[in-house]
Amino acid sequence: MSLPHIVVICGSTRFMTEMTEADLRETSAGKIVVKPAFDMKSPHQLWSVPAEAEALKARLDDLHRAKIRLADEVLVVGAYIGDSTRAEITYARSLGKPVRFTHPDVDPGA
């Protein structure tokens, strides 16, 4: 039995609302969606200590690259591409993963 198409959502966590909307649309189209689970810019006990927050950020970056490897394609959400998202796009393309954009004009490869 084959799995449905898997999409990983990438983008700045400032676009969490848009990521949730993209998740809804992709899931309703029958796809498995993986995306960032939370925004570390919002206060939380898990990242209240700077040294622990830095270590958590590194683990989350590794985990997100694993999500990219798992996925069939990448969907970049938002009208802004920062350094982290740019690195994720580069990584996905190096693996031959198709990359779509909710705002194609921000594609750094265009």
User: Which of these, 5, 9, 6, 4, lies nearest to 75 by C-alpha position?
Assistant: 9
What is the pTM for the complete model shown?
Answer: 0.90
Q: What does each of the 110 residues of the chain score in pLDDT, given as a tens digit?
A: 889 999 999 999 899 999 999 999 999 999 999 998 877 787 778 778 888 888 888 888 999 999 999 999 999 999 999 999 999 999 999 999 999 999 999 998 87
Q: What is the 3-state secondary structure (H, E, C) of 5-74?
A: CEEEEECCHHHHHHHHHHHHHHHHCCCEEECCCCCCCCCCHHHCCHHHHHHHHHHHHHHHHHHHHHCCEE
